[in-house]
Structure 1
């Protein structure tokens, strides 16, 4: 299970599970990078 992702901007996100990680990453993108949208599969591909 992948629960961590580091954004190219340097912010690190961690979720208790993949669902929480995806939610946190999508919230981060909406707040900080509104011109970028990624699907769940794309987020999990970049996660570790």
Structure 2
């Protein structure tokens, strides 16, 4: 199960599970990178 992702801005996002990771990543994108949206599959592809 993938629970970590590193944003190119330097932010490391950690979720309790894949659903939490996707939610936190999408929230980070909305707040810090407006206009950059990724699907669940795209996020999990980049996660580790």
TM above 0.5: yes
Deviation at 1:35, TM superposition (A): 1.3
| Structure 2 runs not aligned, ≥5 long | none
- Paired with 2:47 and 2:25, the residues of 1 have a C-alpha distance of 10
Q: In the alignment, what sits opposite 1:21?
A: 21
Where has structure 1 moved over 3 Å in runs of 4 or more?
A: none
Q: How many residues align?
A: 48
TM superposition score normalised by structure 1: 0.98
TM superposition score normalised by structure 2: 0.98
RMSD: 0.3
